[in-house]
Amino acid sequence: MGLKQNLHNLKEKYKGTKMAPAFNAIHTFLYLPNEVTHNGTHIKAADDLKRTMNTVIMSLIPCLIFGMFNAGYQHHLAIGDVKPVEGFFSGDFWSLANLWIGAAKILPLVIVSYGVGLLVEFIFAVIKGHEVEEGYLVTGMLVPLIVPVDLPLWMLAVAVVFGVVIGKEVFGGTGMNILNPALTIRAFLFFAYPTWMSGDKVWVHDAVSRAGSADAISGETILGSYAQNLTPSYSVSDMFFGFIPGSVGETSTFLILLGAAFLIFTKIGSWRIIISTFIGAAVMGLIFNAVADTGLITDTSKFYGLMSTEWWKHLIIGGLAFGAVFMATDPVTASQTNKGKWIYGFLIGFISIMIRVFNPAYPEGVFLAILLMNVFAPTIDHYVVQGNVKKRLKRLKAKTA
């Protein structure tokens, strides 16, 4: 009660000053807003923007915790300290030794992501004189889950500043941005620091420092192996449950699908976008499988590995599932019409697999596909709306004729 009263006193003290948004944000973060609607309302609901953001964060927590265990497990597996696990509840995976290494590497990524991102948000709020927006609450959790475990913290800080300023604030803040801020940060890292975002040494902790030693280890992802026409030694169970190298939170399709079910149940995530993204990826995978079966592409081709990969495997490896559930469904940057959501999601999945196959140097295309469709989402909605208008005009003319 004392803390709340002190914060309330500070809020009142700085009311009307440039620092008011900062104290209002801290007060709102810790306690429920005390503002109520004074006029008549048409729609009454218990949810607000903060509750919506917190719901998305809750759906991401299982991926975060699993990512911590997996980071430690992949490290110990690579240096030969543990054997490959058998089953989701294997004790060798859920050990405190794995959690300790994972937490030591991933929690700093979370702290830097939130610290730098919210600092930029506070600065812009003070300069512009508006309230601090809750939009970065989700972005701050997404960013550590879509980067390699050993990414230097200073690189992450630079990328977060770029993503928040260029990806969101220059467009007017939360609700006005045309690109997903988290994917803007990922794109910046990929193009500015490519050696830290691709290759066979970035996905397993300590792989880079050991690369020149006798016990050098490889952290190649499944996509990287297929791109080099190599058959990875991972089972379908490993791929589905996530016992594989990769970005922190993108490996476990199982937990991602649980998160999808939670978002759909709470009516925050669009099931149309999620399902259509998987359909688009499956269609493109089937097309490539058919081309590979014709013999036009031989096993000596640099495209053969991923082109001949079974279409259903494309759905459970890489970042496709994570992108479909947590990125493509961003309500600000996605299509808004129901028909537009089907088109938008289908094209994301379709283009993602296309980029995977034709870009073997970096065989992961989902974040580029989503950013591309972010740009075209308003155009898709425009033509969907115009199509509905024309149909209604035709029906009207038919009735009046």
Which tens digit of pLDDT belongs to each residue from 114-126?
999 989 988 887 7
- Summarize pLDDT for 269-296 with one digit per residue, the tens: 999 999 999 999 999 999 999 999 888 8
- Give Cα 215 distance to the centre of its chain: 33
What is the average pLDDT across 340-369?
91
Q: The whole model's pTM is what?
A: 0.88
So what's the pLDDT on residue 213?
Answer: 46
What is the average pLDDT across 160-183?
88
In the predicted structure, residue 40 carries a pLDDT above the cut 70 = no
- Summarize pLDDT for 303-320 with one digit per residue, the tens: 888 899 999 999 999 999
User: How many angstroms separate the CA atoms of 118 and 174, rounded?
Assistant: 13
* Residues whose CB falls within 8 Å of the CB of residue 340, separated by 6 or more in sequence, listed in order: 377, 380, 381, 384
Q: What percent of the chain has pLDDT over 70?
A: 82
So what's the pLDDT on residue 203?
Answer: 86
So what's the pLDDT on residue 123?
Answer: 86
- Summarize pLDDT for 81-128 with one digit per residue, the tens: 888 888 888 888 999 999 999 999 999 999 999 999 989 988 887 777
Q: Are 306 and 356 in contact (CB under 8 A)?
A: yes
pLDDT band at 215 (very low <50, low <70, confident <90, very high): very low
In the predicted structure, residue 148 carries a pLDDT above the cut 60 = yes
Return the top range by mean pLDDT from 14-18, 31-35, 272-276. 272-276
In the predicted structure, residue 196 carries a pLDDT above the cut 80 = yes
So what's the pLDDT on residue 251?
Answer: 94
What is the average pLDDT across 373-393?
95
What is the average pLDDT across 200-218?
62
In the predicted structure, residue 242 carries a pLDDT above the cut 90 = yes
User: How many angstroms separate the CA atoms of 225 and 326, rounded?
Assistant: 26
The tokens of 262 are what?
């939670």
Identity of the amino acid at 312: W
Which residue matches tokens 């030794």?
A: 97
